[in-house]
Amino acid sequence: MSPNRRDVLRGLGLAALATPLAACATTGRSAAPTPTVTAAATSAANPLGVNAASPLEVVIFSGGNGDKYAVDLHEAAYSKTYPQSKLKHVGTQKVGTQLRPRFISGDVPDVVNNSGPEALDLQALVQEGQLADLTPLFEAPSLAFPDKKVIDTLVGGVYENSLIDGVPRVLQYTVGHRALWHNAKLFESKGWQLPRTWDEFNALGEEAKKAGIALFAYPGQVGPFYQVWNLVYTAAKIGGNKVIIDIDNLADGAWTAEPVRQAVAAWAQIQKDFGDKAYFGLDHTQTQVKHLQDKVLFYPCGSWLENEMAKEKPDTFEYAIAPVPSVTGTDAMPYEAIFVGVAEAFFVSAKGKNPQGGLEYLRIMLSKEGARGYTEQTRNLTVVNGVVDGLNLTSAVNSAAKAQEAAGKNIITDARFETWYKELFDYSQTQTNSVMAGRITADQFCENMQKKADELKNDSSISKQTRSV
């Protein structure tokens, strides 16, 4: 008997009921998919044991630096070494949206450049065992300097920043400098000197006011974190890097410490006396354009600034970096101290199809051609030491390099609560806007921040990180 129409309809009805179940975002407890390829034997030429035939998938955040560098440099080099391997490149601006479902289903890419506003939460990934241990990479011989291990060719701070729960999981690829950016040509034409003390800073503020220039501005609408950085780095300058380390460790009273209060009060005073409240409602691009128009003297930001504003920058403007003036006469760090830190996260998937290939890909990124080529294409310095001699760099990068030289050992460390406890970081942005606009005092800022930090500390559902340096 052939099925009649009613049977068919009944069947369809059942199918309709069954589909929602199949469409679930989560599929219940499933066993972790094991890597489908086994590692090849290691050798001098292949220290990480890459299986030459395994495919490799690379996901690159296509932001300010684009994703072309990866295709041209690193992927080309990988394909040259392993021509049998099928290489897949994905450029995206939505790392999280695109990859989250893939991590759930188990079909994960091997290398991920986890950047941008939608970057994935690394803690969450580590909790699920999704990130590969980078120890073999750091211990492998470097391609740039064959007699050294990879880790010994990198600037300080890379290893410390790679650790999550004590295991290296993430490679930060670029080096950046953050402090106060200004127009060197304007200073020259006006005959102004960079202020070294807070009194000189105020005096310059008066001069600038006469010329119709705001001494300082930060973007309050999108990008108040530039000022959060500025505040904590200034606090570190007053009280030493321990101030930031305590904040990151959620130590008792870290935010109510005197250096934090002094830094916040000092900057709130500058804003009150020489700032313009219009900037609380402007985004970073609008503020940076006004900076280029010489309406703002100092702008707190990082060394990517020149690249970001390259199209808008007039010839009358030359980006240069200046350390934050010393707030007190007894600051723990000298005037020259500036922030130098690492950024641009890359990780290798532990449950991917080719984790060894992923590690090898990172090793290629850290080769001489890989790192130097990256600096050439994106105007960003990488974490590999000594590979950019003779390159034609921008005035901003040159100025930053000079400032780093002057700072010597007095390097302000990075604040990691930004990625460790994003909620605290977001809260610090609203509090910064509040204190700078004069809605709360510096004391209230410290108290509010401390309260939030304590809340997170006592919340057992949030995994804690610690650092000693």
Partner 1 sequence: MRRHGFVAGFLLLPVAVYLVFVISPYVQAFQIALTDWRGVSSGLNFVGLDNFRRMFGNDSFWQAIRNHAVLLVAMPLATIALALAFAYLLNAPQGRPVRGAGFYRVVFFLPQVLAVAVVGVLFKAVYRPDASGVINGALIQLGIEPVGWLTDQTLALWSIIAVMVWQGVGFYVVLFSAGMAAIPKDVYEAAALDGAGRLTTFFRITLPLLWETVQVGWIYLGIAAFDGFALVNVLSVEQGGPDGATTVLATEIYKNAFGYSRFGYASALGVALFFLTLTFAAVTMRVTRRERIVY
Task: For partner 1, give the closer residue by CB, 118 or 336.
Answer: 118
In the structure encoding, which two tokens stand for residue 111, read together? 């290398």
Over the window 384 to 423, marking each residue x when it contacts partner 1 by CB under 8 A and - when it does not, the resulting string is --------------------------------------xx
By the rule CB under 8 A, 429 interacts with partner 1: yes
Stretch that binds partner 1, among 9-17, 68-76, 173-181, 392-400 (CB under 8 A): 9-17
Nearest C-alpha neighbor of 226 from the set 304, 329, 301, 293:
301
Quote the least distance from Cβ 99 to partner 1, whole Å. Answer: 9
By the rule CB under 8 A, 125 interacts with partner 1: yes
By the rule CB under 8 A, 280 interacts with partner 1: yes
What secondary structure, in 3-state letters, does 408-445 show? CCCEECCCCHHHHCHHHHHHHHHHHHHHHCCCCCHHHH
Quote the least distance from Cβ 403 to partner 1, whole Å. Answer: 30
Over the window 72 to 111, marking each residue x when it contacts partner 1 by CB under 8 A and - when it does not, the resulting string is ------------------------x---x--xxxx-----
Please select the residue that binds partner 1; options are 220, 239, 240, 275, rule is CB under 8 A: 220
By the rule CB under 8 A, 20 interacts with partner 1: yes
Please select the residue that binds partner 1; options are 121, 188, 206, 312, rule is CB under 8 A: 121
Quote the least distance from Cβ 166 to partner 1, whole Å. Answer: 20
Quote the least distance from Cβ 121 to partner 1, whole Å. Answer: 4
**Residue 453 in contact with residue 424, Cβ under 8 Å?**
yes
Residue type, 433: N
Helix axes of 442-457 and 258-274: crossing angle, nearest 10 degrees: 130
Task: For partner 1, give the closer residue by CB, 24 or 45.
Answer: 24
Task: For partner 1, give the closer residue by CB, 95 or 381.
Answer: 95
By the rule CB under 8 A, 370 interacts with partner 1: no
By the rule CB under 8 A, 426 interacts with partner 1: yes
Task: For partner 1, give the closer residue by CB, 4 or 43.
Answer: 4
By the rule CB under 8 A, 36 interacts with partner 1: no
By the rule CB under 8 A, 430 interacts with partner 1: yes
Quote the least distance from Cβ 65 to partner 1, whole Å. Answer: 22
By the rule CB under 8 A, 27 interacts with partner 1: yes
Q: Write phi, then psi, for 227 (nearest 5 degrees).
A: -80, -30
Please select the residue that binds partner 1; options are 19, 193, 330, 468, rule is CB under 8 A: 19
Please select the residue that binds partner 1; options are 278, 343, 401, 406, rule is CB under 8 A: 278
Number of residues counted as binding partner 1 (CB under 8 A): 56
Task: For partner 1, give the closer residue by CB, 460 or 468.
Answer: 460
Burial call 141-172: b when 16+ CB within 10 Å, e when fewer? ebbbbeeeebbebbeebbebbbbbeeebbbbb
By the rule CB under 8 A, 207 interacts with partner 1: no
By the rule CB under 8 A, 322 interacts with partner 1: no
Burial call 181-206: b when 16+ CB within 10 Å, e when fewer? bbbbbbbeebeeebbeebeebbebbe
Q: How far apart are CA 223 and CA 426, in angstroms?
A: 11
Stretch that binds partner 1, among 19-27, 47-55, 177-185, 364-372 (CB under 8 A): 19-27
Q: How far apart are CA 404 and CA 52, in angstroms?
A: 42
By the rule CB under 8 A, 14 interacts with partner 1: no
Task: For partner 1, give the closer residue by CB, 145 or 280.
Answer: 280
By the rule CB under 8 A, 333 interacts with partner 1: no
Q: How far apart are CA 391 and CA 310, in angstroms?
A: 18
Q: Write phi, then psi, for 196 (nearest 5 degrees).
A: -105, -25
Residues paired with 167 in a beta bridge: 164
**Residue 134 in contact with residue 169, Cβ under 8 Å?**
yes
Q: How far apart are CA 99 and CA 91, in angstroms?
A: 12
Over the window 225 to 264, marking each residue x when it contacts partner 1 by CB under 8 A and - when it does not, the resulting string is ----------------------------------------
Nearest C-alpha neighbor of 392 from the set 403, 409, 376, 371:
376
**Residue 244 in contact with residue 235, Cβ under 8 Å?**
yes
| Whole-number CA gyration radius for the chain | 25
Q: How far apart are CA 341 and CA 157, in angstroms?
A: 7
Scanning 149-304, the segments in alpha helix (DSSP H) are 158-162, 184-190, 198-210, 225-239, 242-248, 258-274, 284-292
Q: Which residues would be at the binding site for partner 1 (CB under 8 A)? A: 5-6, 9, 12-13, 15-17, 19-21, 23-30, 96, 100, 103-106, 118, 120-121, 123-125, 127-128, 130, 220-221, 224, 276-282, 286, 290, 422-423, 426, 429-430, 433-434, 437, 439, 461
